[in-house]
Amino acid sequence: MAIDYSQSSVKQFASKFQLLRIFTKLQPVFFFLVGLVLFPQLLLAQWNATIGGQSQDLGRQGLAFLPNEIWIHAGDSITWKMAPDEPHTVTFLAADQVIPPFTEGCPGFSSGSATFDGTACATSPLLFQGQKFTVVFPVAGNFKMICLVHQNMTGTVHVLKPSQSLPHDQAFYDRAAQEQSTALLADEDSSALKHKHSENGVTVGHGEIVATGGGSDSVSVMRFGDPEITVHAGDTVEWTNEDPVTPHTVTFGTEPQDPTAPSSNLTIDADGARHGVLKSPADSVHSGFIQAAPQDRTGLAQAPSGVTRFRVTFSKPGIYPYLCALHDVLGMKGRVIVLP
Ligand SMILES: [Cu+2]
């Protein structure tokens, strides 16, 4: 019995000693937790946001930073994650910098992460679904962000000094991102796609630009209004891009290396529309970008009118498949059935 008693006392002493050791080990954690209670911004140094949203069939694309306005502290970082199949960039230009093509970047690109203090450009390369990009903001200031691929896709990061309080937490931004994405994708009036300009008319996409306090977003429907149209030999079909921002192409046959330029076998109609003739489904014609003119701004030269229409005359019967060279991966395809 005595031996048992003595063993139990040793055990008690050992367990007290262990508790003390555990407490000593956990001391830094304890002080860190106290620090977090007193200075909660320490916990919020890493922020998360989303780029883009899309409908299940990929046809409806929300071209937006979600949310597109975030308040953080100097030293914090933001990680953007790509949601849609349509590619985007996260780009912060230096003040007054001319917007470069997405193929050139700043020039150059940062892979994975970058630091931006307002003095030198920082950009991701083209980002695809699931990819992430992190930007660290060491200096206070209000910084505009853009996507080099999509006009009217802008946002603002407000970087405050650590002594200033932040208006929102991560949960607020998660909610805002979800709400903005849902609202954006619901915004577009899908019946507009069915609107015809002429008897043999096909609408090429449709979209809307919306704004928040942080910048602008747009929604684009990456679809042909009537993906299948039936005409007769000798008829002309007219495609019209109604999207205020997004370019599309109408491409029959071989896809060109550079989708921006029209194929050389086109003529220009009196009203400026491009016009091709197809004699066989094996032949190729390519509209080049058909796109609305960019938004004009006071103080800058006005932009020329956009080429928004493309016409093809079908001289022989057959089934003529075509696609948008930019958005076929999202399902933007159609066909023309030409009867005798
Ligand atoms: Cu397209």
Which pLDDT tens digit goes with each residue over 90-116?
A: 999 999 999 999 999 999 999 999 999
Residue 43 C-alpha to ligand 1 middle, in angstroms?
A: 43
The reply to whether 19 falls in a domain is: no
What distance in Å separates the CA atoms of residue 155 and residue 311, rounded to the nearest whole number? 37
What distance in Å separates the CA atoms of residue 242 and residue 45, rounded to the nearest whole number? 42
Residue 327 C-alpha to ligand 1 middle, in angstroms?
A: 4
Residue 316 C-alpha to ligand 1 middle, in angstroms?
A: 26
The reply to whether 116 falls in a domain is: yes
> 161 and 247 share a domain?
no
The reply to whether 60 falls in a domain is: yes
> 92 and 177 share a domain?
yes
The reply to whether 259 falls in a domain is: yes
Residue 9 C-alpha to ligand 1 middle, in angstroms?
A: 80
ω into residue 262 within 30 of 0, thus cis? no
Residue 246 C-alpha to ligand 1 middle, in angstroms?
A: 7
How many structural domains are present in the chain? 2
Q: What's the CATH number where 285 sits?
A: 2.60.40.420
> 52 and 178 share a domain?
yes
Instruction: Using alpha carbons, select from 187, 161, 232 the residue that is nearest to residue 60.
Output: 187
Do residues 216 and 209 make contact, with C-beta atoms less than 8 angstroms apart?
A: yes
Residue 225 C-alpha to ligand 1 middle, in angstroms?
A: 12
Instruction: Using alpha carbons, select from 275, 277, 189, 204 the residue that is nearest to residue 242.
Output: 204
Instruction: Using alpha carbons, select from 76, 77, 117, 119 the residue that is nearest to residue 94.
Output: 119
pLDDT at 41 over 80: no
If you search the block for the tokens 């507009």, which residue do you land on? 192
The range of the structural domain enclosing residue 103 comes to 41-187
pLDDT of residue 190: 57
Residue 25 C-alpha to ligand 1 middle, in angstroms?
A: 60
Residue 330 C-alpha to ligand 1 middle, in angstroms?
A: 9
- Percent of the chain having pLDDT more than 90? 80
Mean pLDDT of 237-241: 97
Do residues 162 and 139 make contact, with C-beta atoms less than 8 angstroms apart?
A: no
pLDDT of residue 44: 52
Name residues whose C-beta falls within 8 Å of residue 303's C-beta, 6 or more positions apart in sequence: 293, 294, 296
Residue 26 C-alpha to ligand 1 middle, in angstroms?
A: 58
Residue 301 C-alpha to ligand 1 middle, in angstroms?
A: 28
> 311 and 241 share a domain?
yes
The reply to whether 27 falls in a domain is: no
pLDDT at 129 over 80: yes
The reply to whether 30 falls in a domain is: no
Residue 256 C-alpha to ligand 1 middle, in angstroms?
A: 15
Going across the sheet that includes 318-323, the strands are 228-232, 333-339, 318-323, 251-252, 285-286
Do residues 251 and 204 make contact, with C-beta atoms less than 8 angstroms apart?
A: no
Instruction: Using alpha carbons, select from 123, 125, 124, 164 the residue that is nearest to residue 141.
Output: 164
**Where is pLDDT greater, at 265 or 15?**
265
pLDDT of residue 1: 45
Residue 259 C-alpha to ligand 1 middle, in angstroms?
A: 11
The reply to whether 281 falls in a domain is: yes
> 333 and 257 share a domain?
yes
> 166 and 204 share a domain?
no
What distance in Å separates the CA atoms of residue 265 and residue 275, rounded to the nearest whole number? 9
> 182 and 276 share a domain?
no
Phi-psi sector, 65: left (phi>0), alpha (psi -120 to 50), beta: beta
Residue 295 C-alpha to ligand 1 middle, in angstroms?
A: 20
> 45 and 183 share a domain?
yes
Q: Which of 38-47, 79-88, 90-99, 240-249 has the lowest mean pLDDT?
A: 38-47
> 71 and 172 share a domain?
yes
> 173 and 272 share a domain?
no
Residue 37 C-alpha to ligand 1 middle, in angstroms?
A: 51
Residue 112 C-alpha to ligand 1 middle, in angstroms?
A: 28
The reply to whether 25 falls in a domain is: no
Residue 107 C-alpha to ligand 1 middle, in angstroms?
A: 27
pLDDT at 145 over 80: yes
> 313 and 244 share a domain?
yes
> 132 and 45 share a domain?
yes
Query: Considering the chain, what is the average pLDDT of its residues?
Result: 89
